[in-house]
Structure 1
Protein backbone atom coordinates (compact mmCIF):
# COMPACT_ATOMS: atom_id res chain seq x y z
CA UNK A 1 0.00 0.00 0.00
CA UNK A 2 1.24 3.49 -0.80
CA UNK A 3 2.30 5.69 2.11
CA UNK A 4 0.72 9.13 2.22
CA UNK A 5 1.78 11.84 4.65
CA UNK A 6 -1.25 13.14 6.52
CA UNK A 7 -1.38 16.92 6.33
CA UNK A 8 -3.83 19.76 6.52
CA UNK A 9 -5.34 20.30 3.06
CA UNK A 10 -4.20 23.53 1.51
CA UNK A 11 -6.60 25.73 -0.42
CA UNK A 12 -6.65 24.52 -4.00
CA UNK A 13 -4.98 21.16 -3.19
CA UNK A 14 -7.60 18.47 -2.79
CA UNK A 15 -5.23 15.49 -2.74
CA UNK A 16 -5.22 15.10 1.07
CA UNK A 17 -9.01 15.46 1.06
CA UNK A 18 -9.47 12.64 -1.43
CA UNK A 19 -6.97 10.48 0.45
CA UNK A 20 -9.02 11.02 3.60
CA UNK A 21 -12.27 10.31 1.72
CA UNK A 22 -11.04 7.12 0.02
CA UNK A 23 -12.61 4.48 2.34
CA UNK A 24 -16.01 6.17 2.27
CA UNK A 25 -15.97 7.58 -1.25
CA UNK A 26 -17.99 4.78 -2.89
CA UNK A 27 -20.83 4.70 -0.38
CA UNK A 28 -21.11 8.45 -0.09
CA UNK A 29 -21.07 9.01 -3.85
CA UNK A 30 -23.99 6.61 -4.12
CA UNK A 31 -25.78 8.50 -1.36
CA UNK A 32 -25.28 12.05 -2.63
CA UNK A 33 -26.16 11.03 -6.22
CA UNK A 34 -29.36 9.37 -4.99
CA UNK A 35 -28.26 6.04 -6.45
CA UNK A 36 -27.71 7.37 -9.98
CA UNK A 37 -23.91 7.16 -10.04
CA UNK A 38 -23.71 3.65 -11.49
CA UNK A 39 -26.09 4.57 -14.27
CA UNK A 40 -23.95 7.55 -15.25
CA UNK A 41 -20.86 5.34 -15.36
CA UNK A 42 -22.67 2.77 -17.50
CA UNK A 43 -23.49 5.56 -19.93
CA UNK A 44 -19.79 6.47 -20.13
CA UNK A 45 -18.92 2.83 -20.72
CA UNK A 46 -21.46 2.57 -23.55
CA UNK A 47 -20.04 5.70 -25.18
CA UNK A 48 -16.47 4.39 -24.87
CA UNK A 49 -17.48 1.05 -26.37
CA UNK A 50 -18.88 2.88 -29.38
CA UNK A 51 -15.37 4.09 -30.21
CA UNK A 52 -13.98 0.50 -30.29
CA UNK A 53 -10.83 1.38 -28.31
CA UNK A 54 -7.93 -0.83 -27.27
CA UNK A 55 -6.17 1.54 -24.87
CA UNK A 56 -8.27 3.55 -22.39
CA UNK A 57 -7.19 5.88 -19.59
CA UNK A 58 -9.44 7.02 -16.75
CA UNK A 59 -8.07 10.36 -15.54
CA UNK A 60 -8.92 11.10 -11.93
CA UNK A 61 -10.04 7.48 -11.64
CA UNK A 62 -10.52 7.59 -7.87
CA UNK A 63 -11.40 4.20 -6.41
CA UNK A 64 -11.67 2.64 -9.87
CA UNK A 65 -15.39 2.01 -10.10
CA UNK A 66 -15.53 2.83 -13.80
CA UNK A 67 -12.34 0.87 -14.45
CA UNK A 68 -13.85 -2.16 -12.74
CA UNK A 69 -16.94 -2.02 -14.95
CA UNK A 70 -14.76 -1.72 -18.06
CA UNK A 71 -12.47 -4.55 -16.97
CA UNK A 72 -15.37 -6.93 -16.30
CA UNK A 73 -16.72 -6.40 -19.82
CA UNK A 74 -13.47 -5.86 -21.71
CA UNK A 75 -10.57 -7.71 -20.03
CA UNK A 76 -8.68 -7.53 -23.33
CA UNK A 77 -8.54 -3.71 -23.25
CA UNK A 78 -5.45 -2.03 -21.83
CA UNK A 79 -6.83 0.04 -18.97
CA UNK A 80 -4.93 2.72 -17.05
CA UNK A 81 -6.12 4.68 -14.03
CA UNK A 82 -4.43 7.95 -13.09
CA UNK A 83 -5.07 9.79 -9.83
CA UNK A 84 -3.22 12.25 -7.61
CA UNK A 85 -4.56 10.62 -4.42
CA UNK A 86 -2.64 7.45 -3.56
CA UNK A 87 -5.22 6.15 -1.07
CA UNK A 88 -7.92 6.32 -3.75
CA UNK A 89 -5.79 4.13 -6.00
CA UNK A 90 -5.32 1.69 -3.12
CA UNK A 91 -9.08 0.97 -3.26
CA UNK A 92 -8.92 -0.41 -6.83
CA UNK A 93 -9.47 -4.19 -6.83
CA UNK A 94 -9.13 -5.15 -10.51
CA UNK A 95 -5.78 -5.75 -12.27
CA UNK A 96 -5.40 -2.51 -14.21
CA UNK A 97 -2.41 -0.21 -14.43
CA UNK A 98 -2.54 2.35 -11.61
CA UNK A 99 -0.55 5.58 -11.83
CA UNK A 100 -0.09 7.97 -8.90
CA UNK A 101 0.36 11.34 -10.63
CA UNK A 102 -1.24 14.66 -11.32
CA UNK A 103 -2.94 14.82 -14.69
CA UNK A 104 -0.87 17.66 -16.13
CA UNK A 105 2.38 16.02 -15.06
CA UNK A 106 1.40 12.61 -16.45
CA UNK A 107 -0.06 13.56 -19.84
CA UNK A 108 3.05 15.07 -21.51
CA UNK A 109 4.96 11.86 -20.75
CA UNK A 110 2.49 9.75 -22.75
CA UNK A 111 2.00 11.48 -26.11
CA UNK A 112 -0.49 9.93 -28.53
CA UNK A 113 -0.84 6.68 -26.58
CA UNK A 114 -4.58 6.31 -25.93
CA UNK A 115 -7.71 5.73 -27.97
CA UNK A 116 -10.09 7.04 -25.29
CA UNK A 117 -9.63 9.27 -22.22
CA UNK A 118 -12.37 9.36 -19.59
CA UNK A 119 -12.87 12.09 -16.97
CA UNK A 120 -15.60 11.69 -14.33
CA UNK A 121 -16.19 14.65 -12.00
CA UNK A 122 -12.59 15.81 -12.40
CA UNK A 123 -12.56 19.02 -14.42
CA UNK A 124 -14.68 20.95 -11.94
CA UNK A 125 -11.87 20.73 -9.40
CA UNK A 126 -9.01 21.67 -11.73
CA UNK A 127 -7.42 25.05 -11.09
CA UNK A 128 -7.30 25.58 -14.87
CA UNK A 129 -9.75 23.26 -16.69
CA UNK A 130 -8.66 24.54 -20.09
CA UNK A 131 -5.03 23.64 -19.39
CA UNK A 132 -6.11 20.20 -18.16
CA UNK A 133 -7.99 19.58 -21.41
CA UNK A 134 -4.98 20.66 -23.44
CA UNK A 135 -2.85 18.19 -21.48
CA UNK A 136 -5.29 15.35 -22.13
CA UNK A 137 -5.22 16.11 -25.85
CA UNK A 138 -1.49 15.31 -25.86
CA UNK A 139 -2.11 11.78 -24.60
CA UNK A 140 -4.73 10.89 -27.23
CA UNK A 141 -3.99 9.38 -30.60
CA UNK A 142 -5.19 11.38 -33.63
CA UNK A 143 -8.84 10.43 -33.92
CA UNK A 144 -8.96 9.44 -30.25
CA UNK A 145 -11.83 10.54 -28.05
CA UNK A 146 -12.31 12.38 -24.78
CA UNK A 147 -15.43 11.67 -22.71
CA UNK A 148 -16.22 14.03 -19.82
CA UNK A 149 -18.89 13.57 -17.14
CA UNK A 150 -19.56 16.56 -14.87
CA UNK A 151 -22.18 18.06 -12.60
CA UNK A 152 -24.63 20.34 -14.34
CA UNK A 153 -27.20 22.75 -12.97
CA UNK A 154 -30.37 21.84 -14.86
CA UNK A 155 -32.09 24.42 -17.00
CA UNK A 156 -35.67 25.22 -16.11
CA UNK A 157 -37.53 24.84 -12.82
CA UNK A 158 -35.39 21.90 -11.68
CA UNK A 159 -32.36 24.16 -11.46
CA UNK A 160 -33.68 25.90 -8.34
CA UNK A 161 -34.11 22.65 -6.47
CA UNK A 162 -30.69 21.44 -7.62
CA UNK A 163 -29.01 24.62 -6.41
CA UNK A 164 -30.77 24.38 -3.04
CA UNK A 165 -29.51 20.81 -2.73
CA UNK A 166 -25.92 21.61 -3.71
CA UNK A 167 -25.48 24.93 -1.93
CA UNK A 168 -27.55 24.45 1.21
CA UNK A 169 -28.58 20.90 2.04
CA UNK A 170 -25.49 18.97 0.89
CA UNK A 171 -22.91 20.97 2.92
CA UNK A 172 -25.12 20.65 6.02
CA UNK A 173 -25.64 16.93 5.44
CA UNK A 174 -21.89 16.56 5.12
CA UNK A 175 -21.22 18.42 8.36
CA UNK A 176 -23.95 16.62 10.30
CA UNK A 177 -23.42 13.09 9.04
CA UNK A 178 -21.24 12.22 6.04
CA UNK A 179 -18.00 13.81 7.21
CA UNK A 180 -18.76 14.70 10.81
CA UNK A 181 -15.33 13.31 11.80
CA UNK A 182 -13.48 15.63 9.36
CA UNK A 183 -10.35 16.59 11.34
CA UNK A 184 -9.30 19.80 9.58
CA UNK A 185 -10.67 23.29 9.00
CA UNK A 186 -14.49 23.23 8.79
CA UNK A 187 -14.52 25.52 5.75
CA UNK A 188 -12.41 22.96 3.86
CA UNK A 189 -14.72 20.02 4.63
CA UNK A 190 -15.38 17.86 1.53
CA UNK A 191 -18.99 18.79 0.87
CA UNK A 192 -18.36 22.46 1.46
CA UNK A 193 -15.68 22.55 -1.25
CA UNK A 194 -17.93 20.42 -3.45
CA UNK A 195 -20.62 23.09 -3.19
CA UNK A 196 -18.10 25.83 -3.94
CA UNK A 197 -16.59 24.01 -6.91
CA UNK A 198 -19.99 23.33 -8.43
CA UNK A 199 -21.03 26.96 -7.96
CA UNK A 200 -18.01 27.95 -10.07
CA UNK A 201 -18.72 25.21 -12.63
CA UNK A 202 -22.51 25.62 -12.80
CA UNK A 203 -23.08 24.25 -16.33
CA UNK A 204 -19.56 24.23 -17.68
CA UNK A 205 -20.56 26.67 -20.37
CA UNK A 206 -16.94 27.12 -21.44
CA UNK A 207 -16.46 23.43 -22.24
CA UNK A 208 -16.96 23.67 -26.03
CA UNK A 209 -14.50 26.58 -26.24
CA UNK A 210 -11.92 24.79 -24.07
CA UNK A 211 -12.19 21.65 -26.19
CA UNK A 212 -11.82 23.51 -29.49
CA UNK A 213 -8.91 25.59 -28.20
CA UNK A 214 -7.16 22.33 -27.20
CA UNK A 215 -7.47 20.99 -30.75
CA UNK A 216 -10.57 18.81 -30.37
CA UNK A 217 -13.31 18.62 -32.98
CA UNK A 218 -16.78 17.07 -33.22
CA UNK A 219 -17.71 18.40 -29.78
CA UNK A 220 -21.04 16.96 -28.63
CA UNK A 221 -23.25 17.10 -25.54
CA UNK A 222 -24.73 13.71 -24.74
CA UNK A 223 -27.42 14.51 -22.16
CA UNK A 224 -30.36 16.93 -22.05
CA UNK A 225 -29.85 20.41 -20.59
CA UNK A 226 -32.50 19.62 -17.97
CA UNK A 227 -30.35 16.88 -16.39
CA UNK A 228 -28.20 17.12 -13.24
CA UNK A 229 -25.10 15.86 -15.04
CA UNK A 230 -23.73 16.51 -18.51
CA UNK A 231 -21.55 14.38 -20.78
CA UNK A 232 -19.37 15.94 -23.44
CA UNK A 233 -17.47 14.00 -26.12
CA UNK A 234 -14.83 15.30 -28.51
CA UNK A 235 -12.39 13.88 -31.06
CA UNK A 236 -8.66 14.62 -31.06
Structure 2
Protein backbone atom coordinates (compact mmCIF):
# COMPACT_ATOMS: atom_id res chain seq x y z
CA UNK A 1 0.00 0.00 0.00
CA UNK A 2 1.27 3.49 -0.85
CA UNK A 3 0.81 6.68 1.04
CA UNK A 4 0.99 10.25 -0.13
CA UNK A 5 3.59 12.41 1.61
CA UNK A 6 3.52 16.16 1.13
CA UNK A 7 7.00 17.55 0.59
CA UNK A 8 7.45 21.22 1.37
CA UNK A 9 10.12 23.37 -0.29
CA UNK A 10 11.76 24.15 3.09
CA UNK A 11 12.23 20.44 3.73
CA UNK A 12 14.00 19.77 0.46
CA UNK A 13 16.44 22.64 0.98
CA UNK A 14 17.64 21.30 4.35
CA UNK A 15 17.89 17.60 3.41
CA UNK A 16 20.14 16.35 0.59
CA UNK A 17 18.13 13.16 0.16
CA UNK A 18 14.79 14.95 0.12
CA UNK A 19 16.17 17.63 -2.17
CA UNK A 20 17.05 15.00 -4.77
CA UNK A 21 13.57 13.47 -4.55
CA UNK A 22 11.91 16.89 -4.72
CA UNK A 23 13.92 18.01 -7.75
CA UNK A 24 13.31 14.76 -9.63
CA UNK A 25 9.56 14.94 -9.02
CA UNK A 26 9.40 18.64 -9.82
CA UNK A 27 11.05 18.33 -13.23
CA UNK A 28 9.03 15.23 -14.09
CA UNK A 29 5.92 17.32 -13.47
CA UNK A 30 6.94 20.45 -15.38
CA UNK A 31 8.74 18.74 -18.30
CA UNK A 32 5.99 19.49 -20.87
CA UNK A 33 6.07 23.18 -19.88
CA UNK A 34 9.73 23.58 -19.01
CA UNK A 35 10.80 25.59 -22.07
CA UNK A 36 7.92 28.01 -21.61
CA UNK A 37 8.56 28.43 -17.87
CA UNK A 38 12.26 29.14 -18.42
CA UNK A 39 11.44 31.73 -21.06
CA UNK A 40 8.98 33.44 -18.72
CA UNK A 41 11.36 33.53 -15.76
CA UNK A 42 14.20 34.94 -17.89
CA UNK A 43 12.12 37.65 -19.60
CA UNK A 44 12.54 35.67 -22.83
CA UNK A 45 16.33 35.99 -22.74
CA UNK A 46 17.30 32.41 -21.89
CA UNK A 47 18.15 31.46 -25.49
CA UNK A 48 20.49 34.46 -25.76
CA UNK A 49 22.21 33.53 -22.49
CA UNK A 50 22.63 29.94 -23.63
CA UNK A 51 24.18 31.06 -26.93
CA UNK A 52 26.59 33.27 -24.98
CA UNK A 53 27.56 30.30 -22.82
CA UNK A 54 28.29 28.20 -25.90
CA UNK A 55 30.36 31.01 -27.45
CA UNK A 56 32.38 31.38 -24.24
CA UNK A 57 33.12 27.64 -24.36
CA UNK A 58 35.14 28.14 -27.59
CA UNK A 59 34.16 24.74 -28.91
CA UNK A 60 36.33 23.11 -31.55
CA UNK A 61 34.80 20.98 -34.34
CA UNK A 62 36.37 17.78 -32.96
CA UNK A 63 35.66 18.34 -29.28
CA UNK A 64 33.96 15.89 -26.94
CA UNK A 65 31.38 17.77 -24.85
CA UNK A 66 29.25 16.77 -21.86
CA UNK A 67 26.08 18.77 -21.12
CA UNK A 68 24.91 18.08 -17.57
CA UNK A 69 21.27 18.39 -16.53
CA UNK A 70 20.55 18.99 -20.21
CA UNK A 71 16.77 19.10 -19.79
CA UNK A 72 15.06 19.48 -23.17
CA UNK A 73 18.41 19.99 -24.86
CA UNK A 74 18.72 23.69 -25.70
CA UNK A 75 22.42 23.97 -24.86
CA UNK A 76 23.12 20.47 -26.19
CA UNK A 77 21.76 21.38 -29.62
CA UNK A 78 23.63 24.68 -29.73
CA UNK A 79 26.84 22.79 -28.97
CA UNK A 80 26.08 20.10 -31.58
CA UNK A 81 25.84 22.73 -34.30
CA UNK A 82 29.49 23.65 -33.59
CA UNK A 83 30.73 20.11 -34.13
CA UNK A 84 31.70 18.20 -37.26
CA UNK A 85 33.55 15.09 -36.06
CA UNK A 86 33.14 15.61 -32.33
CA UNK A 87 30.24 14.61 -30.10
CA UNK A 88 28.09 16.12 -27.38
CA UNK A 89 26.34 13.98 -24.78
CA UNK A 90 23.40 15.42 -22.89
CA UNK A 91 22.63 13.77 -19.55
CA UNK A 92 19.49 14.30 -17.50
CA UNK A 93 17.72 12.39 -14.73
CA UNK A 94 14.20 13.18 -15.97
CA UNK A 95 12.82 10.89 -18.68
CA UNK A 96 10.13 13.40 -19.63
CA UNK A 97 12.74 16.04 -20.40
CA UNK A 98 14.73 13.64 -22.56
CA UNK A 99 11.63 12.58 -24.49
CA UNK A 100 11.22 16.19 -25.59
CA UNK A 101 14.94 16.43 -26.38
CA UNK A 102 14.77 13.28 -28.51
CA UNK A 103 11.84 14.69 -30.48
CA UNK A 104 13.86 17.84 -31.18
CA UNK A 105 16.82 15.68 -32.23
CA UNK A 106 14.73 13.77 -34.76
CA UNK A 107 13.40 17.03 -36.16
CA UNK A 108 16.86 18.61 -36.49
CA UNK A 109 18.56 15.40 -37.70
CA UNK A 110 21.86 16.15 -35.94
CA UNK A 111 24.34 13.26 -35.87
CA UNK A 112 26.84 14.70 -33.39
CA UNK A 113 24.52 14.44 -30.40
CA UNK A 114 23.46 11.78 -27.88
CA UNK A 115 21.12 11.87 -24.93
CA UNK A 116 21.45 9.62 -21.89
CA UNK A 117 19.16 9.13 -18.91
CA UNK A 118 21.28 9.37 -15.79
CA UNK A 119 22.07 11.02 -12.48
CA UNK A 120 24.79 13.66 -12.86
CA UNK A 121 25.91 12.88 -9.30
CA UNK A 122 26.89 9.37 -10.45
CA UNK A 123 28.53 9.51 -13.88
CA UNK A 124 30.16 6.43 -15.39
CA UNK A 125 32.35 8.17 -17.98
CA UNK A 126 36.12 7.59 -18.02
CA UNK A 127 38.55 10.14 -16.62
CA UNK A 128 39.77 13.07 -18.73
CA UNK A 129 37.33 12.31 -21.53
CA UNK A 130 35.73 15.68 -22.24
CA UNK A 131 37.10 18.94 -23.66
CA UNK A 132 34.19 20.95 -22.31
CA UNK A 133 31.47 20.35 -19.72
CA UNK A 134 28.42 22.61 -19.54
CA UNK A 135 25.43 22.91 -17.25
CA UNK A 136 22.45 25.22 -17.58
CA UNK A 137 20.32 26.05 -14.54
CA UNK A 138 21.55 22.87 -12.89
CA UNK A 139 24.03 23.54 -10.08
CA UNK A 140 21.39 24.95 -7.76
CA UNK A 141 19.44 21.69 -7.96
CA UNK A 142 22.16 19.18 -7.08
CA UNK A 143 22.26 17.85 -3.50
CA UNK A 144 26.04 18.24 -3.17
CA UNK A 145 27.74 20.86 -5.36
CA UNK A 146 31.26 20.08 -4.08
CA UNK A 147 30.88 16.42 -4.99
CA UNK A 148 29.62 17.30 -8.47
CA UNK A 149 32.49 19.72 -9.10
CA UNK A 150 35.01 17.02 -8.15
CA UNK A 151 33.35 14.75 -10.69
CA UNK A 152 33.40 17.48 -13.33
CA UNK A 153 37.15 18.01 -12.95
CA UNK A 154 37.74 14.25 -12.98
CA UNK A 155 36.07 14.09 -16.39
CA UNK A 156 37.72 17.15 -17.96
CA UNK A 157 40.81 16.80 -20.12
CA UNK A 158 43.83 18.90 -19.13
CA UNK A 159 43.09 22.43 -20.32
CA UNK A 160 39.37 21.67 -20.54
CA UNK A 161 36.66 24.11 -19.51
CA UNK A 162 33.60 23.92 -17.28
CA UNK A 163 30.84 26.48 -17.87
CA UNK A 164 27.70 26.99 -15.80
CA UNK A 165 24.69 29.18 -16.55
CA UNK A 166 22.21 30.10 -13.83
CA UNK A 167 19.92 32.81 -12.53
CA UNK A 168 21.23 35.38 -10.08
CA UNK A 169 20.01 38.44 -8.22
CA UNK A 170 20.64 41.81 -9.94
CA UNK A 171 23.25 43.89 -8.10
CA UNK A 172 21.18 47.06 -8.42
CA UNK A 173 18.73 47.24 -5.51
CA UNK A 174 15.86 48.65 -7.62
CA UNK A 175 16.32 46.12 -10.43
CA UNK A 176 16.56 43.35 -7.82
CA UNK A 177 13.26 44.37 -6.21
CA UNK A 178 11.51 44.53 -9.60
CA UNK A 179 12.95 41.18 -10.67
CA UNK A 180 11.98 39.37 -7.47
CA UNK A 181 8.48 40.81 -7.69
CA UNK A 182 8.28 39.60 -11.29
CA UNK A 183 9.30 36.08 -10.27
CA UNK A 184 6.70 36.10 -7.52
CA UNK A 185 3.88 37.23 -9.81
CA UNK A 186 4.79 34.98 -12.74
CA UNK A 187 5.53 32.00 -10.50
CA UNK A 188 2.27 32.36 -8.61
CA UNK A 189 0.22 32.69 -11.78
CA UNK A 190 1.83 29.90 -13.78
CA UNK A 191 0.48 26.32 -13.50
CA UNK A 192 4.00 25.01 -12.83
CA UNK A 193 3.90 26.75 -9.44
CA UNK A 194 1.99 23.77 -8.15
CA UNK A 195 5.36 22.04 -8.11
CA UNK A 196 6.07 23.78 -4.80
CA UNK A 197 4.03 21.00 -3.24
CA UNK A 198 4.29 17.57 -4.72
CA UNK A 199 2.85 14.26 -3.62
CA UNK A 200 5.72 11.86 -3.17
CA UNK A 201 4.70 8.22 -3.06
CA UNK A 202 6.64 5.79 -0.94
Which of the five TM-score ranges fits, normalised by the shorter chain? 0.7 to 0.9
Decide whether the 8 Å contact of 2:88 with 2:114 is kept in 1: yes
1:187 alignment partner, one of 180, 197, 202:
197
Render the CA deviation track for 1:171-219: whole Å, top value 9, x for unaligned.
3123xxx337x4x7x5349xxxxxxxxxxxxxxxxxxxxxxxxxxxxxx
CA distance 1:81–1:130, shift in 2 (3 Å): same
Q: 1:98 aligns with which of 79, 104, 115?
A: 115
Query: Conserved in 2, the CA contact under 8 Å of 1:112 and 1:139?
Result: yes
Q: Which residue of 2 aligns with 1:20?
A: 29
Contact kept in structure 1, 2:33 and 2:192, CA below 8 Å: no
Once residues 121 and 90 of structure 1 are traced to their aligned partners in structure 2, the CA distance between those partners, rounded to angstroms, is 19
Aligned residues: 175
Alignment of 1:130-209 (within 5 A): 130-157=146-173, 158-166=175-183, 168-174=184-190, 178-179=191-192, 182=194, 187-188=197-198
Match of 1:127 in 2: 143
Following TM superposition, by how much is the alpha carbon of 1:53 offset from its aligned partner in structure 2, in angstroms? 6.0
Residues 88 and 109 of structure 1, relative CA distance in 2, 3 Å threshold:
same
Partner SS, residue 143 of structure 1: strand
Consecutive unaligned residues in structure 1, runs of 5 or more: 1-6, 190-236
Shift of 1:59: 0.3
Backbone CA RMSD of aligned residues: 2.5
Which residue matches 2:131?
115
Normalised by the length of structure 2, the TM-score is: 0.76
User: How far is 1:162 from its partner?
Assistant: 2.3
| TM superposition score normalised by structure 1 | 0.66
Displacement of 1:32? 2.0
Partner-residue secondary structure (3-state), 1:127:
coil
Q: Is the aligned partner of 1:60 residue 2:60?
A: no
Structure 2, unaligned runs of 5 or more: 8-17, 106-110
**Larger relative contact order (C-alpha < 8 A, sep ≥ 6)?**
2
